[in-house]
Amino acid sequence: IRKTSTNTSAKVYGMRETIFIICLCFFSEAAVSKAPSKLPVWAFLGDSITSGYGIVQSESFPELIRKTLEAQGVKVKIIKSAIPGSTSASGPSRVKWLLKSKPDWLVLQLGFNDGLRGVKVSAIKKNLIKTIKVAKAHKTKVILIGLKLPINYGKPYRDRFAKIFPQIAKETKVEFFPFIDGFYTTPKYMQPDGWHPNKLGHTVIHSELLKKIKSFI
């Protein structure tokens, strides 16, 4: 009788244990399925163009991209590091700071101030490639924004400057966003200084760049 009682108790305990494990697995899977997925992180690294110099910060193209995506039900996290006057030389160190947030994508817009100062295009190219390599080493994909200089700069230098951006994108195998044709020759897009886009200009950049960004979300 004792043996039968012991065996019966063991069987009951075993059944309870099995039911408990099955329930635990079920609720664990349910919890995992309901856990919110990580929001895509987009980092913007640039100068006064990215910062929205001369306009309300909320009207800069990175902020407009965030607002438009959210309005369309697409949630993303936007991180912006934009310092007016910064040059391509600041890129490698600044991108390391941005990478702490583990961005999925980096939108890189640097080199304009170098061009305004007549820096050798070879030096600009070297700095941008180094910045991109740091990002790629951390598994962050890159979109490089192509730039052009205002028409009051000498044509030989303007041409050399404009050519390095598609070259860099090709050599480093990153995505390229070409400079919008006719931007500097369209006064309604520019602030009086002729260097920085105004509110409408940022809207144009936002709408064009958003097409590319949405293809990766």
Tens-level pLDDT at each residue, the chain (217 residues): 444 444 444 444 455 554 444 444 444 443 333 434 578 899 999 999 999 898 988 899 999 999 999 999 888 899 999 999 999 999 999 999 999 999 999 999 999 999 999 999 999 999 999 999 999 999 999 999 999 988 878 899 999 999 999 999 999 999 999 987 777 778 898 898 888 999 999 999 998 899 988 888 7
In this predicted structure, what is the pLDDT of residue 37?
55
Positive or negative: CA dihedral 78, 198, 49, 160: positive
Query: Strand 41-46's sheet: what is its strand order?
Result: 77-82, 41-46, 105-109, 141-145, 175-177
Nearest to 109 by CA among 181, 41, 180, 38: 180
Asked if 137 contacts 172 with a C-beta cutoff of 8 angstroms, the reply is no
Q: Which two tokens stand for residue 171?
A: 């050599």
In this predicted structure, what is the pLDDT of residue 29?
40
Catalytically active residues, by annotation:
48, 193, 196
pTM value > 0.95: no
φ/ψ of 118, rounded to 5, equals: 75, 25
Dist CA 152 CA 174 (whole Å)? 30
In this predicted structure, what is the pLDDT of residue 2?
45
Nearest to 166 by CA among 156, 153, 155, 177: 177
Asked if 174 contacts 95 with a C-beta cutoff of 8 angstroms, the reply is no
In this predicted structure, what is the pLDDT of residue 182?
72
In this predicted structure, what is the pLDDT of residue 214?
85
